Amino acid sequence: MRRATVTRETGETSIRVELSLDGSGQASVETGVGMLDHMLHQLARHGGFDLTVQASGDLHVDAHHTSEDVAIAVGRALDEALGDRAGIGRFADRTVPLDEALIQVALDLSGRPYAAIELDFPAPMIGELPSSMAKHILETIAHEGRLALHVRQLAGENEHHIIEATFKALARCLRDAVRVVEAAGAPSTKGTLSS
């Protein structure tokens, strides 16, 4: 089983993430930021992962530190659970609608972090999550998970629909890309995806 447990303790937050890539889509998430919880549930359900996230942080300040540190821990758990990435599908792309919103996500579990996120939210907040944090969360997961991530908003007027379609598309991409398709070997002419 490809699993990882990551903890992160700072003066601002306390985070614990448990991830199983070969799960059944079960999630137990408590971050104190309702919209972040909802998006992480989407990631687990549509990715087919088992995900547990326990987080506490300085929410009396705002949602930034908690959201950022959860994204760091989720990205690191993904990287750790992938191990040497031998035999994985590696590449994936999905376009997902949610009512008027249409989001395209493409990724490469290359071991090289990169993020190009093109999202335009009509409102400054999505519940208690600042809209600007959505891009930062995705960039952080890409960086810490060591993947190249491209997100494009093709349509959308409702901020909830936009972010939810984004996480559903990301989840479906990850589901495809982490799937083991070969018995051994890295899907790279370099011979490795771990460095």
Which of residues 182 and 92 earns the better pLDDT score?
Answer: 92
pLDDT at 188 over 70: no
Number of Cβ within a 10 Å radius of residue 97: 15
Token pair in block for residue 116: 């190009």
Model pTM score: 0.93
3-state helix, strand, coil in the chain (%, to 5): 35, 30, 35
Q: What is the pLDDT of residue 194?
A: 60
Contact at 8 Å (CB) between 57 and 12? yes
31-69 b/e (C-beta count within 10 Å ≥ 16 → b)? bbbebbbbbbbbbbbbbbbbbbbebebebeeebbbbbbb
Percentage of the chain exceeding pLDDT 90? 92
Q: What is the pLDDT of residue 113?
A: 98
pLDDT at 192 over 90: no
pLDDT at 190 over 90: no
pLDDT at 14 over 60: yes
**pLDDT averaged over the chain?**
95
Q: What is the pLDDT of residue 140?
A: 98
Helix (H) or strand (E) holding 126: strand 125-126
pLDDT tier, 1 (very low <50, low <70, confident <90, very high otherwise): confident
pLDDT at 89 over 70: yes
pLDDT average, residue stretch 94-100: 98
